[in-house]
Structure 1
């Protein structure tokens, strides 16, 4: 996973055409991107079609890789049918540790999401609750911003960027979120599964610096999300 993201960042640097920056700066940007991705992925709620790997230790014969059914349930040894729709990996881990404690002494549970259904969008940067959100048909930019709690005080919404995979290549689309928030709803773009919205800080005014700090690290996140979509097909 991390190797894939590092390669995505290198690709993003070449694709952007920006001047080279010191290696320390790129390393910092990469580390920031990986941390944001890790935090965001741990908060993704699971849904029907997602594949979840569950490890039960020390009794590994109870470990399973299961697919979330249309009703949001999975079938597990000893426990039976369990509703996990809308829960993230940490929530599932806590729930399973409590459930298996009835059968196993001091159970240690690991939960890894092997594959998502692909219908996710992400919003990151200067937003109150950055992370992944469930995509809904007809979903638009303002709805996603509202779900994420709105821009932070240091945000510069007029410089918002929408990252989208088109034909296997990333695109960065300028989005004037400030205009949308003022009521110019003709600018309220319709989203697609796999989109990532990036809201930058107001402090960065030079375009090259702004791109390096705000967009390039998150192209890795966009690539990661696109990978989930491809795996789901």
Structure 2
């Protein structure tokens, strides 16, 4: 561990894993993902009661509404979106409920999300079920944009009420220079240039991310 003078940060050897206490404190929100079983009910309209299975990208179709992007959204968010699309044109005052089917509810209650932002195709929140890595998280968000700055990717993580930031080079990971780091629920991944990245610009310039990631303990606030 080393402290960088006048920078407000401490450099570490590795990004720590969340503790059981962090897991208990995390918001226990369930999110829709790939091949998720849902029940959708529009109150008072029997023809609009459906069992739904999302596709491999978390999308599904619903009568009169069309295709919805379900991945990374909660059932409550999806219900509000369906109501907005039905309101006025098809149903005067729609009341929609969306729930996980009982057969898959237990799995999704354990599913929490990673936030992926910056220069990716589909920024947003994506559910994590099982083990996931940084490269996998970027893939969930549709991969990088054409102009993505892939050599400085930030991972924000809070452990024991302390804010940590890991700064990685995706090309170095692809080459096998160092391991693809594991990603945990409630992590925030930011790809490319951003206000958050510029906070660490002086430290990044002095680092060689091709051979090792840069891990920082900081008191700075992450507003994502």
**TM-score of the pair, normalised by structure 2:** 0.49
TM, length-normalised to structure 1: 0.47
Structure number with the higher strand fraction is 2
